Amino acid sequence: MQLKWKVTAMDCYPEFSGATDYVFNVHWDCLSYYNGVSGGPFYGRVYSVTSVPASPGPFIPYADLKEEQVLDWVYGVMPSGDKERYENSSMQQILNKITPPVVTPPNPWPTDVFPIIAPSISSQPQTGITCWSGQNVSIQAGVAGQPLNLQWQKDGVNISGANFSSYVLNDAQVGDAGTYVLTAANSLGSVASSGCVLAVNPPQAPVITSQPAGLSVKVGEFALLSVAFDAYPAPVCVWSKDGADVGLGNNYAIQSASLQNSGTYKVTISNSYGTVESSPAVVEVTE
């Protein structure tokens, strides 16, 4: 959130040469500009009339007064905390507009306060993302410039409602696979990010990619049986020894081996799409 104070009008009394002190009625605004996750700029105005006595020093003709000097006078005579209250009020006006998001820049854009800046991509999105069907995916890019109209595209087609610097896919499906690009535009031009290629793997029954290996350890030593697999949704792994279940998980650990741990081990891997059993792994424990 950016804030800027601006004098919009001044009434000066008296206005004649030789005066060393006078009173202003100052009309001023507190403007707010938001360009965050919403991808849109907003501005709000707070209005007040303040009587401002001139600070000590040489008389400054009305025509020569600078906005910074007048604002210094305004701040100097404000009751304690008023500046912060005006700023908070302005920010709240903007935040209220952001829920739900409003991404259309104000028309006309207040160039007297916030100059138009050509759009640019400050950080590119990920070059590629691979996920399983049903997972959530977030694609992000950094943008700069003001005001900005942001638009995500998939394979060159605009995505409805995707007008933020990040795009979130909840429960991604195989049909969501493609190349995603963010475009940013304003009256000075447009720019597009590099593409993020999204690959969505379909649900898969468990497939073992690395079988558990047999071990030979001495009494008291540590032993670890491991298996590697591909599967989605995440499966349940059940380890057995000589046909009797002994543990769950991708690995089976024997913290301090005893002769009774000798035997033949297998792991059964199951999800809603299928079940697979590993090849046997013989564990030998010797004294």
Q: At residue 227, what are phi and psi to the nearest 5 degrees?
A: -140, 145
User: 204-286 — its CATH code?
Assistant: 2.60.40.10
3-class SS at 261? helix
Q: Where are the domains of the chain?
A: 2-98, 117-201, 204-286
| Confidence band for 247, pLDDT divided at 50, 70 and 90 | very high
pTM of the predicted protein model: 0.58
Beta strands 215-218; 281-286: pairing state: parallel
Flag whether pLDDT at 208 surpasses 60.
Answer: yes
Residues near 9 by Cβ (< 8 Å), separated by ≥ 6? 26, 27
Instruction: Assign domain 117-201 to a CATH class.
Output: mainly beta
| Confidence band for 53, pLDDT divided at 50, 70 and 90 | low
Tokens of 69: 């000097």
| Confidence band for 177, pLDDT divided at 50, 70 and 90 | very high
Give residue 116's pLDDT: 85
Identical fold between 117-201 and 204-286: yes
Flag whether pLDDT at 24 surpasses 80.
Answer: no
3-class SS at 15? coil
Q: What mean pLDDT is predicted for residues 31-53? A: 59
Q: 54-58, 96-100, 110-114, 254-258: which has the highest mean pLDDT?
A: 254-258
Flag whether pLDDT at 39 surpasses 50.
Answer: no
Give residue 7's pLDDT: 73
